[in-house]
Structure 1
Amino acid sequence: MAAGAFTSIPALAAQEQAESEVERIIVTGTRRNDRTVSESTVPIDVVNIEDMTTTGQLEVSQVLSTLIPSFNYPHAAVADGTDHARPAVLRGLAPDHTLVLVNGKRRHSSALLNLNGTVGRGSTAVDLNTIPTSAIKSIEILRDGAAAQYGSDAIAGVINIILKDQEGGSISATYGQYETEMAGSPKLTGMGTTVNDEGTTVLDPITDGNRNRSDGGTTTIAGDWGTNLGDEGFIHLAFETRNRQATDRSGFDPREQYARIGDPETGELDPREFTFDRYNHKFGKADIDDLALFYNFGWYLSEQSELYSFGSYAKRDGLSGGFYRRANDSRNVEEIYPDGFLPHIATEVKDHSLALGVRGESGDWDWDLSTNYGKNDFSFGVENSLNTSMGVDSPTEFDNGSLVYEQTLVNFSANNSFDFGLPNEVFVALGAEYRHENYQINAGEEASYTTILDENGDPVGPGGAQVLAGFAPESEVDRSRHNIALFVEFDSDLSDNLNTSYAARYEDYSDFGSSFNHKIAARYEVSDTLAFRGAISTGFKAPSLAQTSYKSVATVFENGVPNEVGIFPVDHSAAQALGASQLEAEESVNATLGFVYQLDNFNLTVDAYRITIDDRIVLSENLSGDEVEAILVAAGELNTQRARFFTNAIDTTTKGIDIVATYDLELNSYGSLALSAALNFNDTEVTHLKANPEELNSLGDDYVLFSDREIARFEKGTPKDKYNLAATWTLDELTATLRATRYGEVTDASSDPDNHEVLAAKWITDLDVSYQLTENLQLAVGANNLFDQYPQDTVSNIGSTTFNRIFPYSGFSAYGIDGRFIYGRVSYSF
């Protein structure tokens, strides 16, 4: 069968399932379907249903972060749409450097472009959390470059999600919430006063201990059901619904909220200062409602061919806070909000996909013809806000417009084995693929983006919806492109001990040209217990349509100061005046070398890697100053203080090593114990910075295309190392899993190196205990972050500034900022 083949007929599934208990057949990283994970020439992790269940995690991204050491899932907060669809990274590279497949077919990406100062800034990524865990049979993670096999984006590796196809099903209900004490974030008990050196009475916060929180209540109901369709086919259905209430890890706001009575500097404090709720921000997880549906279907058309199909529908409603506008803020209209307001970003994400294919045998050839379609519609709204320039006539809710991404693929592949006079036959696979993409920005309602001008043509006040201006008609985009790919793969055992393979892929894009990539891999078996393996490959990542066409203006928080920052496509007059040029594809070289050791119940794999990427596509620095504002005004961008655009600014080298060990131990009357240790050491270095364009140099020496802060985020924004240790003890109906994960040091970079926030390494412990009450019914309880660990607080780490107190932890924390999560789960299988 072709790459990505999945078990299709339940009559055969039972036999294959029995065989998989001895050896697991891989489908990722090769078009052969007779290789096991241990026989692969490149490192592959396999996560099964049991692995996912015992993590206690509720989303695919969280599951993988818990189990895979080179996979990280940062927890951004107050980052606009990124709060609602957080990106994940593999091997410290960008989120869009990892290709995601479902049943071996390319999954469409999210329409969201991550724009704030978070991990993954400037990237679009597949939203893994639109895929319910109840639909998943297993997940295969290829930790090696694979662009020569699968095309663009597969620089860091490939995640292949295999859907359930067996008879029977299950239903489960999980509820959990955070019970935590916010380490280093003081609890406000009241507001007093003191007299400063100038003799003025000022506010003096009264605190006592740390703030305690019980929030983030999350209810997840999931189920799946599969059945035979006679002797010819099967269908498997799955659903998942989740309600996750928001978490809040903000500190109190010590600022004066109201104008003073009398003199604005020395007058009396407004009495409302002493009754105002100073926990006026929301810093933590967004409020989310998720619904996801999946199906997987197979049907024999004849003894030599079968029809298959799978598809999904997902919907997510999200709500998260922005930055509080105080009553005396110039962006407030006191007649509407006399006490100020916290604007909220509301999103509605609709995601659906459909794949349909036929595969079979013709003579000695196995072939697969398929088409698949995916669409992600990411709509923005703003609530509890206003358009300041409209004054008292401003609405308080806005439709900001939407982002839409669509992808359609047609793929054909075929394989056969030939005798070329070598010691063994040569497996040959070849094929072609056509991909069409479309990206849209749809305008919001007029009030969300408009600015009212006075008689002199000057803005009456800040225009657009506060916290996130809507997409204006001039920001609307409807761009498409297509590409055609041809690929071939050869694989053969040159001796009883040596396996080699070669893959090549040619792609031609309608918007930026062509790319040719290839990969050579080999595995040499020294003995029954020891084998060496390695690969070297070239790769590429095409600039996404979002990166080439996105335009918007939003409030961006930099070093404690909010600014209106515009992002412009490279063909926009403002971007070109600042030195923007046409984007090119990233190019990479990926090398992996390691070994596999197996002895009885002990397995060890060690794989070192080196990934170089030239012409990485990044967001430029937020460019500001009088000269920039003059350029923006000339381009008609009246409400924008800063500008940025995408550019091929840097080259990087990423080096690391993955170590994975497992050991199964029988304890006789005390049950069995499964031990595992997975370690990742990773280092990224920016090896080259593109010179400033002349247009930018002409504005002055202070203007840089890509700052030291952004370089530091690339080099230090994800953990240098990560250890995943786990022990699962089983005794009769009782199963207990203890996991300890060490997240290495991370730096949240500032424009001032003296203010870099260094997050020290921390161990996070998770515990899951389940009991099988009956053959079908299971109960479980557990805790994630059992010992309630937090990153060090920003107040004591880098100084007690206003916003360091309000946002007491860094969003770059690899393990989150929410503390201990306690849950219970009941599941019934049939």
Structure 2
Amino acid sequence: MTATKQSKEAIRPKLTAVLVAGVLAGLAQDALAAAETNEAQSVIVTGTRSLKRTVADSEAPVDILSAKDLQASGSSELGEALNRLLPSLNFPRPAVADGTSATRPAQLRGLSPDQTLVLVNGKRLHTGAVVNVNGTAGRGSAPADLNTIPLIAIDHIEVLRDGAAAQYGSDAIAGVINIILKKGAEGGEVSLSAGRFSAGDGNQWNLSATTGGTLADKGWIRVSAEQKSLGETNRSLPDLRNPQEPRYGQINQKQGDPRVVQTSATINAAVPVTDTAELYGYANLSRRQTDAAATWRTAYTSGTTLRTPLYPQGFSPNQASVGEDVSSVLGVRGRNDGWRWDLSANYGQNEFSLDVTNSVNLSLGANSPTSFYAGKLTNIQTVLNADASREIELPGLQNPATLSVGAEYRRDQYRIGAGEFNSYTGSGAQGFAGFQPSNSGDFQRHSKALYAGLEAEFTPALSASAAIRYENFSDFGAVTSGKLSGRYQAAPWLTLRAAASNGFRAPSLAQQNYTISTTNLITINGTSQLVDTGTFGVATAAAKALGAQPLQPEKSRNYSLGAVLQPLKTLSVSIDAYQIDIDHRILYSGNLVLPANLQALLANQGVLVGAARYFTNAMDTRTRGVDVVASYQLALTDADKLGLTLGFNRNNTSVKNIAANPAILAQNNLTLIDRQTIQRATVTAPKNKLSLGADYSRGPWATHLQVTRYGSFVSPQTNPALDQTYSANTVADISASYRTGNWTLTGGVDNLTNKYPDQVTSAGNLNSGGTLPYSTFSPYGFNGRFVYAKASYKW
């Protein structure tokens, strides 16, 4: 059965609830609105249960990003929009990276993508099914897929840059991203955009719309939809490796963005059921088809020995994937006897199925098919929440404190579905060997949690809060997290804040159970080679034979100290320093190139591979950094308004401890956590990122300029001599819009000066003999200048 056929299976209509809280404020990019209202007074919902907590008096740093901020570039991807707006976020664009090419992960504060919790309307968003097992940023993670939600459906986003496991549970180590959907019956918008890269490829277009309506007497419903097409790009260089190749000197490899066609739709609604209660819910559905290139296979294996008669010129296997995603929440909330309560159910499912086309199973010879169904991955999350909060009088306090309590039940499921026989038998399909029946399975666990919080204002200048959470997982036991935070207004223009917490991240079912054998490009003795490589779940016999142990949760300790300065009514500056210690960090091991005796050991189990990998709690790290966010609004004249913003992040991760190497590996001169694995977690994200923005408006005209300086980063190798440090670079985006009646017309250029990262200089950096010229760690990709136009109609 093909992935296309698999994708036609209906996504089961289960309603679910998971709430995440997430975000706090601080970047005003709309100069006109900022001049008239002080965004620092925006009420936030992430990280607090108080009804009146604002960005200005929050006890932890929060960024608020408006819908206008998110749509201020030519990108239709949420991850890319956040990358340009948040100095602490990293969103590279990996290529030739299997499923990671289709589901690009984002990093907050240089940590793993799955150490950031994502919420939608304050409810937990499920994580994706794809495990990032290639040599990319976020290697080994399986985070939430931000790009499943259409930009036009989003009202604003709150980004809490602080540990919040005590408030929201697992994953909230680096911070929380809370996506707030548009609501209400009034108003609507239709938007059409198109663009292409100046290199002549990557044609894109996007059609999106949102509208609202009434439900019953006082209820409302809002529907948003998006259809987009993203053309592939290719920045590969001519293949000059073997003059005897039929396509010698031609561009054979593909390195760039894959071709993507995606349809997404979102419904958000609420309707009163009594005078004091309302029924609410949302649902988001997304279907993404992606065509991503694998590594080019030369015509000859050596000399003039033909690899396969089916492709006498050589071939590039294509990974044709279909990602289907559904997230849904149904709940009822209200007020009774002073209590605010919320009961909700959350269901989320992410499914990734894969066809490998333009390929061959070499062991089947000339009779091999050229297309294969490789299998399917599915991640399912179901959450039940009961939350309540109220104001209570406490002795000595001028104002009531806020008490909150809650309980949660969560059930996780992860499925691996086998591919067709021809995709995995023998050498397997070139480009991606299918999942074998022995790899397949249905894995699940559940957890129960109790949590409570107290927020109090001791004086108008001093406030503090505390939170505690107890959670028990069926697979590894109980975890308790706590958090203390406080805020003190030392002067009318100066506020100090601090927080301390401990947290955790439960190993995902994907990390515990993902098992597959594929052909990977591995550097051996300084040379890139294709090697049959097995990834083994820690409970498998193969992993145990190589020293694997059951995974335990990561444990974190977060500390932050900050100040908010407002010397002028129109000027706001926040400075926050932080330290994040993570023990038992879950890593995907290095490529263990097996000697003959270990290959024979696994062969006795029916596993035929030349290299192996598995997950392990092998490293303790410390991350230290500082965030600076500033905004300044000027009313130059009655008709001219100017808004300026600045964002800066300095971040550094160091290693505190590495677990002892398993004895079986030490005996065979293998290292579970090699130098390259360590360096991937510490130096592949830029240590510095500076963002400067300017918004100028005059009458119907508005212009936007964003200049971002990305610091240097390192592409690491097992051999230090093969490391490459890539220089810092500055990227400028500019756009201008004209508003007439209900219409707004926009033209813009992203990467105005056509900046590219340094090219790969070392063969050890997996550049396939020079055909892959750019590093997958580049924080701004390697596509060059992008020119676009938009037209939108609002009512």
Using structure 1 for the length normalisation, give the TM-score.
0.89
8 Å Cα contact 1:588-1:612 kept in structure 2: yes
Look up the match of 1:335: 309
Measured at CA, do residues 800 and 580 of structure 1 come closer, stay the same or move farther in structure 2, by a change above 3 Å?
Answer: closer
Measured at CA, do residues 670 and 34 of structure 1 come closer, stay the same or move farther in structure 2, by a change above 3 Å?
Answer: closer
Amino acid at match of 1:610: Q
1:821 aligns with 2:791: no
Look up the match of 2:91: 73
8 Å Cα contact 1:622-1:644 kept in structure 2: yes
1:788 aligns with 2:747: no
Measured at CA, do residues 641 and 81 of structure 1 come closer, stay the same or move farther in structure 2, by a change above 3 Å?
Answer: same
Q: Residues 370-449 of structure 1 correspond to what in structure 2 (within 5 A)?
A: 370-423=344-397, 424-449=399-424
Paired residue for 1:683, among 652, 656, 670? Answer: 652
Aligned partners of 1:482 and 1:25: how far apart in 2? 34
Q: Residues 82-481 of structure 1 correspond to what in structure 2 (within 5 A)?
A: 82-166=100-184, 167-179=186-198, 213-229=199-215, 231-256=217-242, 258=244, 272=246, 278-329=250-301, 333-423=307-397, 424-451=399-426, 463-481=427-445
Paired residue for 2:468, among 501, 504, 515? Answer: 504
8 Å Cα contact 2:22-2:119 kept in structure 1: no
Aligned partners of 2:402 and 2:499: how far apart in 1? 18
8 Å Cα contact 2:579-2:623 kept in structure 1: yes
Measured at CA, do residues 329 and 38 of structure 1 come closer, stay the same or move farther in structure 2, by a change above 3 Å?
Answer: same
Paired residue for 1:777, among 736, 743, 747? Answer: 743
Moved more, 688-697 or 222-231: 222-231
Q: CA deviation at 1:565?
A: 1.1
Paired residue for 2:600, among 600, 621, 630? Answer: 630
SS at match of 2:459: coil
Aligned partners of 2:160 and 2:648: how far apart in 1? 16
Which segments of 5 or more consecutive residues in structure 1 lack a partner in the other structure? Answer: 7-17, 180-212, 260-271, 452-462
Q: Alpha-carbon deviations, 1:620-673, whole Å to 9, x = none? A: 1211122332222122112x1100110001000000000000000111156111
Look up the match of 2:633: 664
Amino acid at match of 1:736: T
Paired residue for 1:585, among 553, 561, 568? Answer: 553
Aligned partners of 2:39 and 2:627: how far apart in 1? 25
Measured at CA, do residues 726 and 176 of structure 1 come closer, stay the same or move farther in structure 2, by a change above 3 Å?
Answer: same
Amino acid at match of 1:436: R
Aligned partners of 1:585 and 1:96: how far apart in 2? 13
Measured at CA, do residues 802 and 582 of structure 1 come closer, stay the same or move farther in structure 2, by a change above 3 Å?
Answer: closer
SS at match of 1:50: helix
Q: Alpha-carbon deviations, 1:240-287, whole Å to 9, x = none? A: 11111110010111122757xxxxxxxxxxxx45xx572111101011
Which segments of 5 or more consecutive residues in structure 2 lack a partner in the other structure? Answer: 1-18, 24-35
1:570 aligns with 2:535: no
Look up the match of 2:5: none
Look up the match of 1:184: none
Aligned partners of 1:165 and 1:332: how far apart in 2? 61
SS at match of 2:378: strand
Percent identical among aligned pairs is 41
Q: CA deviation at 1:19?
A: 9.2
Aligned partners of 1:511 and 1:802: how far apart in 2? 41
Q: Alpha-carbon deviations, 1:725-777, whole Å to 9, x = none? A: 000110111111111100011000012111111111110100011111x2210
Look up the match of 1:810: 775
Aligned partners of 2:297 and 2:21: how far apart in 1? 51
Paired residue for 1:600, among 542, 548, 569? Answer: 569
Q: CA deviation at 1:609?
A: 0.3
Aligned partners of 1:5 and 1:107: how far apart in 2? 11
SS at match of 2:487: strand
Q: CA deviation at 1:558?
A: 2.2
Q: Alpha-carbon deviations, 1:355-390, whole Å to 9, x = none? A: 100000111111000001000010011000010111
Amino acid at match of 2:211: W
How many residues get paired? 755
Paired residue for 2:65, among 42, 47, 50? Answer: 47
Amino acid at match of 1:583: L
SS at match of 1:494: strand
Q: CA deviation at 1:332?
A: 6.3
8 Å Cα contact 2:342-2:388 kept in structure 1: yes
Q: Alpha-carbon deviations, 1:568-617, whole Å to 9, x = none? A: 01121221111111111000000111011122100000000000000000
Q: CA deviation at 1:23?
A: 2.7
8 Å Cα contact 2:760-2:767 kept in structure 1: no
Aligned partners of 1:789 and 1:132: how far apart in 2? 28
1:556 aligns with 2:531: no
Runs of 4+ in 1 over 3 A off after TM superposition: 2-6, 18-22, 330-334, 797-802
8 Å Cα contact 2:229-2:262 kept in structure 1: yes
8 Å Cα contact 1:765-1:784 kept in structure 2: yes
Q: CA deviation at 1:153?
A: 0.1
Q: CA deviation at 1:230?
A: 5.2
Look up the match of 2:16: none
8 Å Cα contact 1:254-1:802 kept in structure 2: no
8 Å Cα contact 1:325-1:332 kept in structure 2: no
Aligned partners of 2:243 and 2:79: how far apart in 1? 39
8 Å Cα contact 2:49-2:402 kept in structure 1: no
RMSD (Å) for aligned C-alpha atoms: 1.8
SS at match of 2:681: helix
Q: Alpha-carbon deviations, 1:156-201, whole Å to 9, x = none? A: 000000000131110111111111xxxxxxxxxxxxxxxxxxxxxx
Aligned partners of 2:136 and 2:235: how far apart in 1? 18
Measured at CA, do residues 712 and 55 of structure 1 come closer, stay the same or move farther in structure 2, by a change above 3 Å?
Answer: same
Look up the match of 1:740: 707
8 Å Cα contact 2:686-2:711 kept in structure 1: yes
Look up the match of 1:762: 729
Aligned partners of 1:123 and 1:5: how far apart in 2? 21
SS at match of 1:500: strand
Using structure 2 for the length normalisation, give the TM-score.
0.93
